[in-house]
Amino acid sequence: VGVQSGASDVSPVPCSGCDDLIGAVFELGRTLCRLQLSDEELALFTAAVLLSPDRPWLTESKKVQKLQDKIYVALQHEIQKKHSAEDKLSKMVSKLPLMKTICNLHLDKLEFFRLLHPETAMNFPPLYKEVFNSELQYSDPRES
| The domain made up of 18-122 is a member of CATH 1.10.565.10 | yes
Please give the model's pTM, rounded to 2 decimal places.
0.68
Q: Which residues contact 126 (CB under 8 A, 6 or more apart)?
A: none
Q: Determine the pLDDT at residue 133.
A: 61
Summarised one tens digit per residue, pLDDT across range 54-82 is 877 788 999 999 999 999 999 999 999 87
